[in-house]
Amino acid sequence: MLEYSKVALDFMNRDHAEFVSLCEKLIATLNDAPNPRAIDPLLDQLAEHTRHHFAEEERQMQAAQFPPFRMHKGEHDRVLSALAEHIERWRQDRDAAQLCDVIESTLNGWFVNHVNSMDFVTANFIKQAKG
Ligand SMILES: [Fe+2]
């Protein structure tokens, strides 16, 4: 169970819960029946969800003229391309243990840090800007 901060905007909390539940589903499937037919669609779903979730945060940051927008978006872009690389590697190697490790350590570690720092500050700023 991942521990991360609740932020000031509900749409972000909903996206974060969805991200965590997709990661949990992936880990359970990787432990249970790590076959590509089950894993590939879940990875596509995770990539799609993450793209959407980041794009919505970015749209709202821009609307609120959040000053460190570039920095926050830079981190999103970096994570999206790392995720695409991890998915590509899985498609080539089909290494379930490696993918499990990437999700549990790299991706989830990044997620908790990101939510607790950048998303937390960003949500407060957008909420205040909206009044
Ligand atoms: Fe973010």
Question: Can you list the domains of the chain with their CATH numbers?
Answer: 10-130 (1.20.120.50)
Q: How confident is the model at residue 22 (pLDDT cuts 50, 70, 90)?
A: very high
Q: How far apart are CA 65 and CA 71, in angstroms?
A: 13
The overall average pLDDT reported for the chain is 97
> Count of H helices and E strands in the chain?
6, 0
- Spell out a b/e string for 77-114, using b for 16 or more CB atoms within 10 Å of the CB, else e: eebeeebeebbeebeeeeebeebeebbeeebbeebeeb
Sequence-distant (6+) residues with CB within 8 A of 26 are: 39, 42, 43, 46, 99, 103
Distance from Cα 115 to the centre of ligand 1, integer Å: 7
pLDDT beyond 90 at 130? no
**CA 99 / ligand 1 centre spacing (Å):** 23
